[in-house]
Amino acid sequence: MADYRHIEVSRNGAVYVAKFLEHKILNDMVIEGIARELYDLAAKEDCKNILLNFSGVGFLSSSVLGKLITLNKRMKAKGGQLKLCELRPEIMELFTLTNLTKIFDIRGDETNGMLAFY
């Protein structure tokens, strides 16, 4: 796998799983770094499915949401899928309040996230 600073990427069959290494995603430089790494992952020719695992994330800036929307659009444009899993209640609330639960496929845990691709 490529060298990532803000995410840990593994592959499970046809799905790339990206886990965030940052507990607090609030700083603009960190947000830009994460976005760049996720966009690079999505640009891989063999990347059709990405599962974002938020299990280690305790705090999330609302500016991350725009990056995730862009990532979702990029994945759909190439015929791929983006799914999210393991959002803590306070982060899930952010997605609910912004109506992003209608845009993103959000699963409770990584196992269910993986199953959702098949």
Domain count of the fold of the chain: 1
Q: What DSSP element (H or E) covers 111?
A: helix 110-115
- CATH number, residue 90: 3.30.750.24
Say if 71 falls within a structural domain: yes
pTM: 0.94
Is 102 inside any structural domain? Answer: yes
Between residues 4 and 71, the one the model is more confident about: 71
Segment 95-104 shows an average pLDDT of 95
pLDDT at 86 over 80: yes
Cα–Cα distance measured from residue 10 to residue 18, given in angstroms and rounded to the nearest whole number: 7
Q: Is residue 2 part of a domain?
A: no
Given a contact cutoff of 8 angstroms between Cβ atoms, the answer to whether 34 and 67 are in contact is yes
Q: What pLDDT is attached to residue 2?
A: 61
- The beta strands (E) that lie in the chain are given as 7-12, 15-20, 24-25, 49-53, 59-60, 81-85, 105-107
Average of per-residue pLDDT values in the chain: 94
